Amino acid sequence: MHPTLPLSTSTSTSISISPSITPTPTLTLHPATPAQHATATHLNSTAWKPPLTTATYLAREQALLNQTLAANGNLTCWILTDPTNPGQILSACETYRRRALVARHGTLHDVPGYGIANLYSRPELRRQGYASRMLRALVRRLAGPGAGDARFVMGYSEIGLGFYKAFGGRGFPAVCWGIPAAAAQLTSATMGEEGEGFGDGGQVRDLLAEDVRVWMCSDVVLGRLRERLRCASLREGRSSGGGGGAGTPAGGDAAGAGAGAGAGAGAGAGTVQFAILPSWEHFAWFQAREDLTARLMEPPRPVPLVRGAGNDEVGVYCAWNHEYGDSPENGVLYILYWVCGTGDEEGFAAESAEGRRVVRAIAGILRRAQREACEAGLRSVRMWNPTSLIKKAVEVVAGEQGVPVVVGETGSIPGLWWMGLEGDVEGGREERVEWVCNEKYAWC
């Protein structure tokens, strides 16, 4: 079955290329037809189908086109072709419409942009410059001069920070923290030295799908995030924290981008505070993806019912996602997003009374996440770019259980092409940007 995608009304883009790469003087970038989109998805299935078969992977991707995040023109498949052989797809990718919250000098803006996903060239066509030329042309097409109202393009790459610099963008920290799955639920009575003074996390409850929408995506919660960004854009010499990190301006030194939450120390007034809006559509897409994967696996897995956990008293919540991997050893429960109540806005020190209260709540939720992972046959619980309070909670839980904290790169390094609020590409490249809430929910 072919994808039923609305086609873009924009015209194709011609790209001049070097004769050393191909004898054809131009290549064409244009939106794919439904049949071409189906072909592109079939091509990339060789890389991204596990743990599914080719047939079930195609069925899942087709079904996901009905999700709000992709439907009604929110997703477009793009292909690069040679006019002399238009039937051959040289490179392909997808773009999702995205909304971001941006604050600068105390003023908040809701800005449109795009996320690039599934950039793929078949193995026999690699190292000929097709994917890189497609990416350059696509960024110009989506958010270059005269392209429209988009103010950013974002994406994720396995290659490294230098990948974005080469294409006029900037890379951001991509640090993953993880702990093993565990069946036991430990309390303050079993905690060792690491947990001293943090005690039991209190009452933790499961979050179903509707709970995630109500407690993590409500206007009140998003309003707090907006105010957090606005205030951070006014603070001189302080990082906004919140799982972000400051991106290196295009042409800058990637080594100066820092690592992990709060890596943008020194950012403050004059720094653009940027966050992909953590709206319900993102979580609904992840939930639909994990449901479809569970049903289509062989043998099928139980469809997850619990989508996260929370502590109402402290106002701490997380949403998670089951990723089954290409083998049982690689199964991961990914925490997509944290809402840490006043701990998000105030930046409490973990050793303060309020900080300890938030850390206790996070630790209790982490223990529930470990149990969820264990019951689902997954090996670990992981999260991207945790804040200092979340890091402390991970250390507390790991310490009480005598297990290691695994810290490393996510494997999906976030990158951003920031065009500036006024659409001034050159001016946008010179601005320092702090990516707040740089967490898994924004992945595409």
The tens digit of pLDDT for each residue in 345-401 reads: 666 777 788 889 999 999 999 999 999 999 999 999 999 999 999 999 999 999 999
- Average of per-residue pLDDT across 199-203: 66
Mean pLDDT of 417-435: 82
Name the band, by pLDDT with cuts 50, 70 and 90, for residue 16.
very low
Helix ranges restricted to H, 376-435 = 388-401, 425-430
pLDDT at site 239: 42
pLDDT of residue 52 exceeding 70, the answer is yes
Beta bridge partners of 14: 28
What is the predicted pLDDT for the residue at 201?
Answer: 57
pLDDT grade for 95, boundaries at 50, 70 and 90: very high
At 225 the pLDDT is 95
d(CA 289, CA 334): 13
pLDDT-derived band at 146, boundaries 50, 70, 90: low
Contact assessment for residue 333 and residue 369, using Cβ atoms and an 8 Å cutoff: yes
66 Cβ contact list (under 8 Å, min separation 6):
none
Position 19: which residue type? P
Mean pLDDT along residues 48-56: 96
φ, ψ for residue 254, nearest 5 deg: -65, -25
For residue 4, what pLDDT is reported?
A: 31
pTM for the full model? Answer: 0.86
Q: Which top CATH class is 175-190+200-208+306-409?
A: alpha beta
Give the integer Cα–Cα distance in Å for 103 and 128: 40
Confidence check: pLDDT of 12 > 60: no
Most confident of 152-166, 187-201, 211-225: 211-225
Q: Give the model's pLDDT for residue 248.
A: 52
pLDDT score at 418: 93
* pLDDT at residue 251 in the model: 47
**What pLDDT does 54 receive?**
97
Q: What DSSP designation does 300 have?
A: P
Task: Give the residue extent of every domain in the chain.
Answer: 28-174+413-442, 175-190+200-208+306-409
- Other Cβ atoms less than 10 A from the Cβ of 282: the count is 25
pLDDT band at 240 (very low <50, low <70, confident <90, very high): very low
Question: What was the pLDDT predicted at 165?
Answer: 83
Contact (Cβ atoms closer than 8 angstroms) between residue 395 and residue 197: no
C-alpha 117 chain-centroid distance: 11
Alpha-carbon gap, residue 296 to 52, rounded angstroms: 7
Length of the chain: 444
> Higher-confidence residue: 279 or 248?
279
Tell whether the model's pLDDT for residue 438 goes beyond 90.
yes
Closest CA to 419 of 314, 289, 246, 274: 274
Residue type, 371: R
CA-CA distance, 218 to 212, in Å (whole number)? 9
What pLDDT sits at residue 14? Answer: 41
Higher pLDDT, 350 or 292: 292
- Mean residue pLDDT of the chain comes to 84
* Distance (Å, whole) CA 225 – CA 340: 11
Q: Give me the CATH code for the 28-174+413-442 domain, please.
A: 3.40.630.30
Same fold, 28-174+413-442 and 175-190+200-208+306-409: yes
CB 396 within 8 A of CB 195: yes
CA distance 202 to 224: 24
What pLDDT does residue 403 have?
Answer: 95
9: helix, strand or coil: coil
What integer pLDDT is reported at residue 399 of this predicted model?
A: 96
pLDDT score recorded for residue 258: 34
Tell me, what DSSP letter sits at residue 179?
E
CB neighbourhood size of 111 (10 A):
18
| pLDDT over 70 percentage in the chain | 80
Provide the pLDDT for residue 255.
36
Q: Is the alpha carbon torsion for 189, 191, 196, 197 positive or negative?
A: negative
pLDDT tens track for 346-357: 667 777 888 899
Q: In this predicted structure, what is the pLDDT of residue 162?
A: 76
Q: How confident is the model at residue 190, as a pLDDT? A: 39
* Token representation of residue 414: 């976030």
Q: What is the DSSP letter of 74?
A: T
